[in-house]
A and B are shown apart, each in its own frame.
Chain A
């Protein structure tokens, strides 16, 4: 699905039908070796790239799950897409991606 927008409309297109909310979530952790590395990086400062990667993995998986749900509904696009995150456990990242699946008017 190419049309994922954070705004509430699809530029240049007309929304024909709203199909409801779609969402995808993911909780991911890295292995203990990476956590040890991240702990020491936290002491010396700078970007903790192990956790940057962890967050990116969770974000992309949540996004894909949301898109799969929209595809199953026969949607053409998702509007009003948002990400949110929370902490389930230390060293793990939870990302939730949600938005509204819509069907577009044919050109």
Chain B
């Protein structure tokens, strides 16, 4: 809902009615046509669906949830996890560098080097394309808010 005006706009009302399945077939088809064109409207519908999901799956916290949260948010745990990640990333970069160096130093024919370079580049490009797709659509995925 727009914070300035505490009254929902017409589009917000329409989105609420759409999520609650209250629109008649003609209005629903028209709204779905707009959804395919207007990103702001898609985000509004996603946000309403996320609220609906939270309401549906909300459960009182269990004791273990509270304990996990305390441990996860403690300075010692975040430091340990952070340190683990830094070491893992540095190690991965190092191992990748060793692999590249080994291939570069190996007395391989040019076509074999080119094949390895093509394979590594191709896999990297595929990964980046898929990561880009996920990155650009993650905010449209209401299910990431489901806890259990």
Contact = CB atoms under 8 A, between A and B. Distances in A.
Interface string B32-66: 00000000000000000100010011000000100
B136 interface: no
Contacts of A64: 49
Contacts of A61: 143
Contact of A47 (B49, B56, B64, B146): B64
Contacts, number: 27
Contacts of A89: none
Interface residues of B, number: 14
Contact of A71 (B21, B56, B57): B21
A53 B56 contact: no
Nearest to A52: B148
B126 interface: no
Chain A interface helix/strand/loop/mixed: helix
A47 to B, nearest CB: 7
B21 A28 contact: no
Nearest to B143: A57
B133 interface: no
Interface residues of A, number: 15
Interface in A36-60: 36, 47, 49, 52-53, 56-58, 60
Q: Which of B57, B64, B146, B147 has the most CB of A within 10 A?
A: B146
A1 interface: yes
A49 B53 CA distance: 19
Given A57-B143, A60-B57, 6 more contacts: A28-B143, A36-B88, A47-B64, A49-B68, A56-B147, A57-B144
